[in-house]
Structure 1
């Protein structure tokens, strides 16, 4: 089993995620769960994770946040300074490519993700 598939299987087991094909390229989309953001953050903060685990988990967390913001647009601003900002700040360089994906370059916001304004704001503060 390739390393990333092994790590996906490990995350699914330890986080009690629904059955996911461990060979999927869409782990974060299939496993995202807006109701479990805090669980994912707690896991990230409480474990010694390698680079691949951190990247997969950050993708899962951001996808879950995006799902949350899509269905709770009015509450999005309240969660702006959540626990994810310190994680991203401390490991910014490791997650830069992931953040660039969510920032959507210079696309119009209406053509972007629900969390794109928050990601762009974060990037403008750290760049």
Structure 2
């Protein structure tokens, strides 16, 4: 039996920020996240910046592969603007996307990026801070 949790996908994107582009990168990420918050299909987006190493880490949680495809169609201009200020160095997919999304990730990132796919074993999603009583 497939449950809702079985289709969840978590992406972790590690980007090297181009020297001299930190402020422009932050602006582009902020605009992209703001747009995604209003219109996107993600359940969660969080981006963190390690200024010492000029790396950014973006986490995106999707309900399923259809939500990933919807994001790609909607957010391309914002993704392009972010990519003007960084390069993806590692992309991790947690969960099992369908073949179309897996191929799309590989095609978009090419051979220059480390890409890994890790199937889900177990887990849960809690939307409140307090554990159940």
Asked if TM exceeds 0.5, the reply is no
TM-score, normalised by the number of residues in structure 1:
0.42
**Between structures 1 and 2, the one with greater helix share:** 1
Determine which structure has more spread, i.e. the larger CA radius of gyration.
2
Specify which structure has the bigger relative contact order, considering alpha-carbon pairs within 8 angstroms and separated by 6 or more residues. 2
TM-score, normalised by the number of residues in structure 2:
0.41
